[in-house]
Structure 1
C-alpha cells in the first residue's frame, strides 16, 4: 500500500510552491554579513570552561563568587553577541544584583553549610539563558513577531520558575524564528542569528539563539523547546548537548505559540548545555513534581544496554542524502562502543522512517480529543488581529513591506494546500514504526541516528530543502526521549553529532550514553580554538 495519487499531488504541489518561493527569496534577499570575522574569538576566562555543576559547587564553597561568574559571562556575551546576534535582550544589571544577593546568602549561611545549600539550591548563583518564546518576568515575549515587539512577560513560565527557585540567575532571552516554526532563527524583529563556528552558517531553530550563545561559550546552560527538532538541530549545529525528554514530564506552559490540536503530545521542553554532566541534574529541576517518573537516580550500566544504529532514513525523496562525515562519525561511535564496552551494536534499517516528514506533518494537523483542529499558522501570524492572507503577504514581502519572513509566509502558503482526511497509509506507517521501536528498545535499548542530513548549512539554505528536519521531527510524533550529542568537528571545522534515542520514560539511558560519548569524543569544542 502507498500514498494515493491525490496525496502525492498534494505533496508535489507543496514542494513546488516552496521551491518557487525560496528561489524568489534567494534572488531578492540581500546576503547576510557579519564583518570580517569568520568565527567567534576563543574563550580566555577559565570560569567559562566549567560546567554548571562545577560552578555551583565552587560558588557554595566560596572559591569564586557568583558576581565573578555572572560578570565573566556578561563580558563574554558582550564580546561575541555582536557577531552572533543570539541574545536579544539582556537583564545584566538585575543579574548582577541577584548574584550579589547570592554571595551574601552564602556568607550568612550557618545551618547545614554547603550540603544543605546543595540540596536546597543546587544551581545557586549559576547564570543561564532562556529562549525568548518562554515567559521570563519583565523580558520580551514575542517569538519574533513584530506585532508583539512591546509585549513583556508579567510572570515566569513554570520551567523558568523552577530554575530560579534552584538558585539560577537568568542573563537574558535568546532569538528564535518567527513563531518558532522554522529551522533557522531569523525574524523581522531581531534579525538573523549566526553560528559561532562559522558566521556564514545557520545556528538552527527554533532554539537557535540558545544554541549559538552556548556554542560560543557565552552561556552555562539554557532552556529550549522541541516540537520538530528545535532543541536537537541547534545543539547539533552549534556543537553542544541537548535533551528532548519524554513528553508531559517537563511543563510546556508559559511559551509561545500555544499548542493546539494534538501538538502538546509532541512538544518537549528541555535543557541545552555544553557539558553532559549538567543534563541530568538540570532536567530533574526542570521536571519539578514529575521528575520521579523518570527514575533519574537509578544507575545505568552501559555494558548491559542493547545498542542499535540506523545510518539514514532509507532514501526519502523529501530529504537529502546524509553527509558521509556524519555517517563516518556514527560508525566511529559504534566502533568505540564495541571496543570499550564489549557490546555488539546492531545496524538496522527502519523502512517507515522514509515517510518521516509526511507522518510528522499529518499528526501536527490532527484535531485534539474534542475534535478541535490546530490553530492555523496564518492566524497565529495575525496575533489577535485579522488572519494574514499569505498570497498578499508574499506580494508585500517582494515589495519590502512585509513584517514577516519568507519562511513564515511559505509555511502559511503551504498550509493552504492541505485538503482531505489524514492518509490511512501514513497513520499505519506511524503505528508500525511505533510498535517496532517499542519492541526493539524496551527498557534497555538505545538507538543511534543522525540529527540532520547535512553539516550546518549556510544561511537560508534550509529554504531549499525544507523537509530535512524530518530526521528529528519523526521522533516528536513517537514521543521518544532523545539526547543530542556532539562528536567532534568536520574537516571544515563544523560540529558533527548524533541523536541518542530510547523508549518512553527511559531518558536516563540516553543521558548516561551522553556522558560516555563526551569522554570518548571530547564533547563541546571551543569554536575560537577549532
Structure 2
C-alpha cells in the first residue's frame, strides 16, 4: 500500500505542476512566431555534402578535392539553412578557410604518401561543428546564459583539441538550452533552434544545435555531451547518429557547466554525425589515450551477439506511452535482426524502469565521495554573480523581464523542493543495475526507445517534462548507447531507437548502428521530403 500511495502522490503532483505551467505559459508567454509556418529547408544540391567525414578525408588526402572546396561547400550550406534553423550561433568561416588552405598546401608538400597522412592526420581538412558548451578557443563559451555574454573560451576542451589535432577544421559553435539542462534548445541569449524536418518542432537538447545543423547537411561531424539524453534525443529528433560513450573514458574538462557532485559518473561526451561509418573513427580520436579501454579495434560478429528488446518502460505514470509508430519500427528492427542475422531477439522487461525519472533525479542530486553536493542550479543561473531567486524570476518572467527561460526557472523551483533520497528509489536502482549488468555481460545489446514520441512542437516539452527518462536512466546505469535513425514516419519526421550495451562495450553498439543504417537507410535529406 505504501508504494501505491507514493505513485498516487507523484501523479497528483505531476498534474498540479503541469496544470500550473500550462496556465502560466498560455497567459504570459509571447505569441508563437508564424514566420516559419509552411516553410521548408532547401534540398542538398552539392554532392560534397553527401559524403561521410571518412570519405571526405580520403578524397582530400588523394587530392580528388581540396579542403578549401569542402569547407566552402559547408560555409555555403550553413549560410543557406541557418536562417531557417538558428543552429550555428557563431561561425569562424574566415579562419576555417585559412586553415583549409594550409591543409591543401601541406598535402601538396607531403612526401610520405597518403598512408602517412591517414595515420598522422586521419581527419585532415574535414569540417567540424562544436556544441557551444565545449570550449573552442576564441569562440563564445556561454551555454546560453545572458550573464555569461562575452565569455570567450581561451582553450579547447580535450575532445575538441584531439579532433583538431587529427586535422579537423572547426566551422563554429552551435546553440544549446540554457545551461544544457532542458530537452528544447532555447535561451534568451541566442534564441530558439528549429528542427530541419519541421521548423515548428524542436531539435531536442541539449545538443540541439548540433543535431539541427548536422541533419540539415550544414555539418558532417560534430561534438555533443549527454547527462540525460543530450546526444541521443537530438539525434533521434533529427534523424542522425550519435554515441553516448561509457562514462569516465572521455575527458569532460573545459565544458560548461562543470561537473559537480556525482555528475561526472553520468556525463558522457561523444560524436554526432549523419553516417554510421564515422562513429568509430571519431570516437577513437575523441577518447585519445583511453581508446584501448573500448576495444574499438576489435572485430564484431553480430551473429554471435545476444540481442534483447525492451519496448517500453513498463508503464510509468510520469512518462507518456510509446507511440504506435515507434513501437512498430522497433518491432521491424527485431524482425530484420532475426531474419538477416539468424539471431533470436528476446523481449525482456524490468519493473524498475517505471521509476526511471525518480532514479535519475535522485542520483543527480547525490553528493560526491567527499560529501559535497552538486552545485545548485540557481547558483549556475546567476553566475558570475549571485544566485537567482526562482520565485522572483518567475514573477519577472510573467511580465517579460526575466533573462531566463521558463524551463530553467521551473527547474530551479523544483530544486527548492528537493527532499532526502528515497530508500525505495535507491533500492530500485541497485536492483535494476544488477539485472541489466547480468543481462548484457560483454556480448549483449538491447534495443530501447529513445523517447515516447517523435519531435514535438516548440514548447510542448514543458507539459511532458519527464519523457527524457527513457534516455536518462541509461546515464545513471553507466552504459554506452548509440542512437540510430530508422527512417521517417507518415508526417515525415525521423524515427529511431537507442542500442545499449554493457559498460566499455561501445564497439558492439557501433557495429549494430552500421547494420541498421544499411537496413533502414540512415539519414534522409530533410529538404527532399
TM range (shorter): over 0.9
Quick check: 2:37–2:199 contact (8 Å CA) kept in 1?
no
1:25 positional shift: 1.5
Query: Structure 1 residue 15: deviation in Å?
Result: 5.4
Residue pair 2:148, 2:384 contacting (<8 A) in 1 also = no
Q: Which residue of 1 aligns with 2:383?
A: 383
Q: Distance in 1 between matches of 2:11 and 2:141?
A: 34
- Counterpart CA distance in 1 for 2:383 and 2:522 is 40
Match of 1:513 in 2: 512
Measure, in 2, the Cα distance between the counterparts of 1:444 and 1:297. Answer: 16
Tell me, yes or no, if structure 1 residue 263 matches structure 2 residue 263. Answer: yes
Cα deviation, residue 16, structure 1 = 2.3
**CA distance 1:309–1:49, shift in 2 (3 Å):** same
Deviations 1:369-428 (A, max 9, x none): 000011110111001311100110001001110000000001001111112x21111111
Superposition map of 1:56-75 within 5 A: 56-75=57-76
Is contact 1:232-1:244 (8 Å) kept?
yes
Distance in structure 2 (CA, Å) of the matches to 1:37 and 1:73: 25
Q: CA deviation at 1:38?
A: 3.2
Q: Secondary structure at the match of 1:355?
A: helix
Residue 328 (structure 1) shift: 0.4
Residues 157-189 of structure 1 deviation map (CA, whole Å, 9 limit, x = unaligned): 111100000000000000000000000000000
What is the CA–CA distance in structure 2 between the aligned matches of 1:339 and 1:7, rounded to whole Å?
41
Q: Which TM-score applies when normalising by structure 2?
A: 0.98
User: 8 Å contact 2:127–2:168 — kept in the other structure?
Assistant: yes
Judged with a 3 Å threshold, the aligned counterparts in structure 2 of structure 1 residues 252 and 10 are, in CA distance, closer, same or farther, namely same
Q: C-alpha displacement at 1:39, in angstroms?
A: 2.5
How do 1:131-530 and structure 2 match up within 5 A? 131-419=131-419, 421-530=420-529
State the 1:340 CA deviation.
0.3
8 A contact 2:96–2:169 mirrored in 1: yes
User: In 2, are the aligned partners of 1:48 and 1:72 still within 8 Å (CA)?
Assistant: yes
Cα deviation, residue 150, structure 1: 0.6
Equivalent in the alignment of 1:54: 55
Q: Flag the 1:300–1:146 CA change in 2: closer, same or farther, 3 A.
A: same
Per-residue deviation at 1:40? 1.0
Partner in structure 2 of residue 126 of structure 1: 126
Instruction: For structure 1, list consecutive stretches of 5 or more residues without a partner in the other structure.
Output: none
Residue of structure 1 in register with 2:45 after alignment: 44
Residue 28 of structure 1: how far off its partner (Å): 2.4
Contact 2:162 2:288 in 1 (8 A): yes
Distance (whole Å) between structure 1 residues aligned to residue 371 and residue 19 of structure 2: 33
In the aligned structure 1, how far is the partner of 2:447 from the partner of 2:428? 20
Deviations 1:234-279 (A, max 9, x none): 0000000000010011111111101111111000000000000000
Give, in angstroms, the shift of residue 5 of structure 1.
Answer: 5.4
CA distance in 2 between counterparts of 1:35 and 1:216 reads 16
CA contact (8 A) 2:185 2:204 kept: yes
Q: CA deviation at 1:204?
A: 0.3
Query: Partner residue of 2:104?
Result: 103
Distance 2:469 2:10 in 1: 18
Q: Aligned equivalents of 1:19 and 1:272: distance in 2?
A: 36
Q: State the Cα distance separating 1:41 from its structure 2 match.
A: 1.0
Deviation at 1:21, TM superposition (A): 2.4
Q: Is contact 2:11-2:317 (8 Å) kept?
A: no
SS in 1 for 2:199: strand
8 A Cα contact 1:18 1:410, kept in partner? no
What is the Cα deviation at residue 348 of structure 1? 1.2
Once the two structures are TM-superposed, the CA of residue 19 in structure 1 deviates from its matched residue by 3.5
Partners in 2 of 1:133 and 1:284 — Cα distance? 21
Give the superposition deviation at 1:22. Answer: 3.8
Q: Equivalent residue of 1:237, what SS?
A: helix
SS at match of 2:143: coil
- The secondary structure found in structure 1 opposite 2:82 is helix
Query: Which 5+ residue runs of structure 2 have no aligned equivalent?
Result: none
Counterpart contact for 2:7–2:317, Cα < 8 Å: no
Q: 3-state SS of the aligned residue for 1:201?
A: coil
CA, structure 1 residues 94+430, in 2 after alignment: closer, same or farther (shift >3 Å)? same
Q: Say whether the 8 Å CA contact 2:319–2:464 is kept in structure 1.
A: yes
Distance 1:509 1:188 in 2: 40
Q: TM-score, normalised by structure 1?
A: 0.98
Ranges of 4+ aligned residues in structure 1 off by more than 6 Å? none
Distance 1:97 1:508 in 2: 36
* Cα shift at 1:33: 3.3
